[in-house]
């Protein structure tokens, strides 16, 4: 059995930042990532101004990221639409580029990274791998994103019978699409779901949807669902013209609104494993980076046992942003509330900017 003081599971933003900071501190650790090469995770790819500030404090400036600048948010519900300036500019970047950049920074800092190693389940004091071997660790940093690990799965509320699915399709680069979306992140609101669309650094547009299972069941398949949404939502349909025969990525049972409020000795939950903010808030990557920074800081200062108090502290810190985003999600998914909401946003854009500020996570020292 191999042993390591600190074991990080997952090479996304949360895991990479944890490895980077532990390496900079000279603390022994190991990061394992199931993919041999960096893929493009199902994610909206939006970096809020808070996320950009966190990255800058890690020494990763905007120019190094190479992201698309995003200055406005556009809301659509049926035939109604509104465009509002963001409180501060954000950016959009593919997860392939962001994850590669963060892992490269961690590796250059001396992080110990092993790829192509899948985790099967947590054990008492460590982790069991796909090949049946085990790694023992004093501290386990769980950074597997939306994918649960056996023995540490996030609970789904019993009342949530109509669970949420995440879908993602790429829209091909085109000058007309570039002019259509420009420097905006778009939110297309419809019954029991919404879609976010934004241009990324390579000219493609990322179209991510959060939809309830019942909506997919009515359509019959992800492709049929996209066709139905395109027919019923003119603006979204115009953008989906560029999707072609692209593969539709999916992830099941996304527990939006969930937070881990209890701590366990030597067990740090990071990113989506700590708190799953509704994706329309555009703050998921910020939670990943900030939670990793806070967890490693706590571990380096107070040791593995400090996770017991740290995890509920993180939940309290994220509570307001999660509540506001949850209310926004309920309104966005309501066919009754969404159209008036867009009309109101067009008349009083300051309300949207207030909501945008309230859904940012609290500042965490790095």
Reported CATH class of domain 2-157+254-358: alpha beta
pLDDT number for residue 98: 95
Q: What are the extents of the domains in the chain?
A: 2-157+254-358
pLDDT number for residue 308: 96
pLDDT tens digit sequence for 124-173: 888 999 999 999 999 999 999 988 999 898 876 555 678 999 999 999 99
More confident of the two residues 366 and 1: 1
Beta carbons within 8 Å of 303's beta carbon, 6+ residues apart: none
Per-residue pLDDT at 64 exceeds 90: no
pLDDT number for residue 247: 84
Compute the mean pLDDT over every residue in the chain, rounded to the nearest whole number. 93
Q: Compute the distance between CA of residue 341 and CA of residue 334 in angstroms, rounded to an integer.
A: 10
Q: How confident is the model at residue 39 (pLDDT cuts 50, 70, 90)?
A: confident
Q: How confident is the model at residue 245 (pLDDT cuts 50, 70, 90)?
A: confident
Rg (CA), the chain: 20
More confident of the two residues 7 and 202: 7
pLDDT tens digit sequence for 8-20: 999 999 999 999 9
pLDDT number for residue 206: 95
Beta carbons within 8 Å of 146's beta carbon, 6+ residues apart: 42, 166, 251, 254, 272, 276
> What is the mean pLDDT of the segment spanning 295-303?
97
Q: Which residue, 84, 68, 35, 70, is CA-closest to 351?
A: 84
Per-residue pLDDT at 219 exceeds 90: yes
More confident of the two residues 105 and 123: 105
pLDDT number for residue 74: 97
> What is the mean pLDDT of the segment spanning 50-67?
90
Q: How confident is the model at residue 340 (pLDDT cuts 50, 70, 90)?
A: very high
pLDDT tens digit sequence for 172-186: 999 999 999 999 999
Q: Compute the distance between CA of residue 257 and CA of residue 259 in angstroms, rounded to an integer.
A: 7
Handedness of CA 233, 239, 244, 249 (dihedral sign): negative
Residue corresponding to tokens 């008492």:
124
Per-residue pLDDT at 363 exceeds 60: no
Structure tokens at 292: 């990793």
pLDDT number for residue 159: 57
Q: Which residue, 110, 92, 97, 115, is CA-closest to 11?
A: 115
pLDDT number for residue 362: 62
pTM for this model (two decimals): 0.94
Structure tokens at 78: 């049926």
> What is the mean pLDDT of the segment spanning 263-290?
95
């Amino acid at each position: 059995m191999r042993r390591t003081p600190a074991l990080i599971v997952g090479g996304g933003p949360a895991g990479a930042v944890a490895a980077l900071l532990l390496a900079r501190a000279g603390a022994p650790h190991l990061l394992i990532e199931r993919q041999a090469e960096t893929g493009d995770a199902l994610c909206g790819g939006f970096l809020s101004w808070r996320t950009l500030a966190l990255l800058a404090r890690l020494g990763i400036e905007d120019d190094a990221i190479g992201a698309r600048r995003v200055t406005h948010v556009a809301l659509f519900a049926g035939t109604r639409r509104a465009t509002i300036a963001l409180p501060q500019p954000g950016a959009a970047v593919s997860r392939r580029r962001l994850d590669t950049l963060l892992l490269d920074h961690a590796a250059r800092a001396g992080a110990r990274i092993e790829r192509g190693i899948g985790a099967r389940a947590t054990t008492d004091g460590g982790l069991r791998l796909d090949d049946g071997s085990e790694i023992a660790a004093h501290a386990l940093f769980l950074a597997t994103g939306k994918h649960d690990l056996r023995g540490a799965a996030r609970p789904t509320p019993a009342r949530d019978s109509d669970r949420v699915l995440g879908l993602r399709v790429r829209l091909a680069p085109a000058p007309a699409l570039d002019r259509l979306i420009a420097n905006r992140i778009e939110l297309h609101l419809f019954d029991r779901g919404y879609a976010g669309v934004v241009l990324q650094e390579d000219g493609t547009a990322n179209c991510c949807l959060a939809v309830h299972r019942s909506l997919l069941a009515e359509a019959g398949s992800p492709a049929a669902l996209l066709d139905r949404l395109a027919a019923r939502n003119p603006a979204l349909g115009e953008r989906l013209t560029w999707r072609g025969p692209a593969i539709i990525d999916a992830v099941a049972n996304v527990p939006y609104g969930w937070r881990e409020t209890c701590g366990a000795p030597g067990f740090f939950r990071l990113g989506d494993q700590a708190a799953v903010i509704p994706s329309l808030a555009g703050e998921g990557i910020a939670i990943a980076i900030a939670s990793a920074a806070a967890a490693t800081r706590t571990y380096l200062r107070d040791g593995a046992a400090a996770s017991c108090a740290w995890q509920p502290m993180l939940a309290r810190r994220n509570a307001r942003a999660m509540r506001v985003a949850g209310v926004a999600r309920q309104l966005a998914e309501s066919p009754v509330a969404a159209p008036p909401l867009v009309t109101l946003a067009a008349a009083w854009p300051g309300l949207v900017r207030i909501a945008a500020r309230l859904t940012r996570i609290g500042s965490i020292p790095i």
